[in-house]
Chain A
Amino acid sequence: MKLKRDISEHNIISVNDVTKTYLGGTFTAVDNVSLNIKEGEIVAFVGPSGCGKTTVMRMVAGLETPTTGGIQVSGHDVQGPGPDRGMIFQAYTSFPWLTARQNVEYGMKILGVPAAERRERAQILLEEVHLIAAADKYPAELSGGMKQRVAIARTLAQKPEVLLMDEPFGALDAQVRWEMQEMMVEIMDVEKKTVIMVTHDIQEAIYMADRIVFYTRTPGRIKEDVYMDFKKGYRFTSKEDLLSQPGYLEIEKQMFAWMREEIQLQAA
């Protein structure tokens, strides 16, 4: 099934000339990166390992501070982490002492959402991520994919403007990863968030994203910034549908070529 994507002309995230150095300036992780992201866009950050793509995302989250340059989200300077920018980590971060349902309610509790509304919204989200049957189980009783769905529902429950996903499915096996990717596309059709997603998985990036920002090896710069024009403004609820789109193979080949270039330069 094809879902029409809904992207506004309005920039919600602006990254302006951001550089991040470590070790007293001797190591440059991110070198002069600028980009604007429009409201409703799903953007994938792709690039070789350790290229600084995660650092850029963590700076948008406010978990790290740019050495120079600035980041605005919804017109405000990013000063630190906040619930307007929900983040999903590769490591499982659902709180082990709370059940799936209590986890989903946790973020809303922090924001002071009244109990009745919390319960109602948690129920809706648990249905959206297909977790109703396991709603009252502790994370230790859940599979990796289910734990990740708890984290996604918990983040969405706070109604963030921006969703930041740091290799969200990286720890999952191939089948579960594929199920999660398709589920995310469906959820984004309902929740309509702006998404930045860091991934190593080229196929995942092409499948989920409207736009791919490709980073060079360290120090991370933007190598290419490409829109998935071959999707003609749609997102697909099944991967087969994506693979049968004309133009898919060309973009995938291109991505692999860029990746090989960067890796070989790194090795040289």
Chain B
Amino acid sequence: MSSVQGKEMSDTSIKAGNPELTKTRDKPKKLQLLVTLSGKQTMTYGLIGALVFFGLWEVAHLLTAEEAKRFLPSPLSVVQALITLIQEKDYMADVGISAYRIFGSFFIACAIAVPLGILMGCFAPIRALINPVISGARYLPAASFIPLLLVWFGPTDSQKMALLVLGVVFFLIALILDNTEAVAKELIEAAQTMGASRREIVINVVGRAASPAIMDSMRNMIAVAYTYLVIAEIVAAQDGIGAVMMRAGRFLKVDVIMAGILTIGIMGVLTDIVFRVTAHYAFPWNRKRKG
């Protein structure tokens, strides 16, 4: 008995004497700080995360009382609803019109925000002139413009796209202004001492230097455009994913509503991938070096 106790004590004392050693040995390797994963490992983890999510959803569905199950359909029946929508309800046309609204309006927002943000970042008087209005506008909820836009445009595509533009453009300008101001002052001065014109510096030095960060801002803001899509298509819309979901809601077709949410999720993931891949190939000089 006493010998066993003694052994235990000596064990703990060794551990206590080498806290550093014990820590590194006991902790799972991948949860150390600064440890990176291979592409394959990252994919595997992502897949596990997704499976756990759908698994929990399925479990929640199974645990729901029989008469309430239609309010929490299983993941499979949501996929089934999605397939039915595509095959029988010409759903891809709605997806297409929603995609057109998102990308069309986002293109307009970028066409306004990129030049304006860069000019504001480069020239103090332009910044001073525009910044107060832009900063204030960011705090206005875009949805509050819906009545106004309905009066101006009627229940048209233009009205929906105007809402999407209003929803992102002010944030986009502010982000691109930040991206531009973050360009090192020395890059500009170096170009000046080389005799570069003001136009050359704004476009080919500041614009180029800020472009990866601007691309990141755009990738982040298009996600916000997606959130406004449903708001835009819930009010006075006959077509688009949001309208399909709204109609389904009236008939308590929860599986169709969820299919709509799933569609937007899938579109969002695809959009994100497109932005990342584009950035990877457009800015080979900015690729993160592998440690």
Binding site for B on A (CB under 8 A): 61-63, 80-83, 85-87, 89, 91-93, 95-98, 106-107, 110-111, 138-141, 151, 154-155, 158, 164
Contact = CB atoms under 8 A, between A and B. Distances in A.
Interface stretch (B155-163, B187-195, B224-232): B187-195
18 contacts: A61-B193, A63-B192, A80-B192, A81-B193, A82-B195, A83-B195, A86-B193, A87-B189, A91-B184, A96-B285, A97-B209, A97-B286, A107-B195, A110-B196, A111-B195, A140-B289, A151-B190, A158-B195
A97 B187 contact: no
Given A96-B285, A97-B285, A107 B194 contact: yes
B21 to A, nearest CB: 33
B28 interface: no
A96 B186 contact: no
A140 B286 contact: yes
A227 B196 CA distance: 36
Given A96-B286, A110-B200, A138-B285, A83 B187 contact: no
B194 A158 contact: yes
B194 A110 contact: yes
B134 interface: no
Given A97-B283, A140-B286, A87 B195 contact: no
A110 B195 contact: yes
Of all A-B residue pairs in the complex, the 8 with the closest CB atoms, nearest first, are A83-B195, A93-B190, A138-B285, A87-B193, A81-B192, A91-B186, A107-B194, A81-B193
Contacts of A63: 189, 192-193
Interface residues of B, number: 21
Nearest to A108: B194
Contact of B194 (A62, A91, A106, A139): A106
B245 to A, nearest CB: 43
A56 to B, nearest CB: 16
Given A89-B186, A110-B200, A82 B284 contact: no
Contacts of B209: 95-97
A140 B285 contact: yes
A95 B189 contact: no
A83 B193 contact: yes
B208 interface: yes
B189 A89 contact: yes
B205 interface: yes
A154 B205 CA distance: 15
Nearest to A92: B186
Interface in B158-210: 184, 186-187, 189-190, 192-196, 200, 205, 208-209
